[in-house]
Homo-oligomer: A and B are copies of this chain.
Amino acid sequence: MQKIKVTIWNEFRHEKNDLPVKAIYPAGMHRAIADGIAAEDLEIRLASLDEPEQGLPDALLASTDVLFWWGHRFHAEVADALVEKIQRRVLGGMGLVALHSSHMSKIFRALMGTSCTLICRVAGERERLWTVDPSHPIAAGIGRCIELEREEMYGERFDIPDDGHLIFNSWFEGGEVFRSGVAFQRGLGRIFYFAPGHEEYPTYFHADILRVLGNAARWAAPVLPPQELRCEKVPPREQLGRAR
């Protein structure tokens, strides 16, 4: 069996610098996700912002089938050249799973074309993710809803394009709603945006959240070998200039 090569990229700064976050995720959220979705068919590598080449040297990127991305405070530090390389890989077939605050990451916004803005609040409130498409592979094994005791509120209006296939639609205790699990295709690549995952809460230890992430890794895996999309001049297939 060919394993799916998953690379989980994380800013990995909160977990080193903020004590309460460190207490929950001492080895980083990327490590918690890697442990939580570990399976025979996945080969998981970790990457983070302060590593050489911002964690994504060409060889690693080129061998990645699905890239998970968790960014928050330091979107601006990610090099534009790296963002362009990632975008080209996604358009050529690589999967992308954009997590939580990554809605404002350079790579997600580049792929959406929109502002990806929303309203938000950190108040440790209840979130309930309702399954809108139970037949989607990403929702496999998830019941009618996922309940999180404490999450950051992300609310509408979420500025994303209209072709997002809605898989989860969230309710928040404070009164808002949010399209919290949305699937896209860009070029030949599949993209899944999944909203939960504020660094101060143990979201990435929640069984259902991990199940969704594991499902997403498999769903987003490319079906074709990597492609480079290019314009191409072609000869006609029919004779031109004939009478009618």
Across the interface, name the chain B residue whose C-beta is closest to A162.
B163
* Residue interface bits A114-128, CB-to-B below 8 A is 1, else 0: 110111110111001
Q: Which of A36-44, A164-172, A192-200 contacts B (4 or more CB under 8 A)?
A: A164-172
Interface presence of A232 (CB below 8 A): yes
- Residue among A113, A171, A172 with the most chain B CB within 10 A? A113
14 A-B pairs, CB-CB below 8 angstroms?
A: A87-B113, A113-B186, A115-B187, A128-B177, A131-B157, A135-B188, A135-B189, A144-B157, A156-B169, A171-B175, A171-B177, A175-B236, A176-B234, A176-B237
Report the minimal beta-carbon distance from A189 to chain B, rounded to whole angstroms: 8
List the B side residues contacting A236 at CB < 8 Å.
Answer: 121, 123, 125, 153, 173-175
Report the minimal beta-carbon distance from A93 to chain B, rounded to whole angstroms: 7
Cα distance A237–B115 in the bound complex, in angstroms: 25
Report the minimal beta-carbon distance from A1 to chain B, rounded to whole angstroms: 15
- Is A174 a contact of B231 with CB atoms below 8 Å? no
List the B side residues contacting A175 at CB < 8 Å.
Answer: 128, 171, 236-238
Find A170's partner among B128, B161, B177 (CB 8 Å cutoff).
Answer: B177
Chain A contact surface mostly: loop
Cα distance A132–B162 in the bound complex, in angstroms: 11
- Is A161 a contact of B137 with CB atoms below 8 Å? no
- Is A117 a contact of B240 with CB atoms below 8 Å? no
- Is B161 a contact of A161 with CB atoms below 8 Å? yes
- Is A128 a contact of B242 with CB atoms below 8 Å? no
* Residue interface bits A212-243, CB-to-B below 8 A is 1, else 0: 00000000001110000111111111111111
- Is B119 a contact of A234 with CB atoms below 8 Å? yes
- Is A185 a contact of B157 with CB atoms below 8 Å? no
Find A110's partner among B113, B188, B233, B235 (CB 8 Å cutoff).
Answer: B113
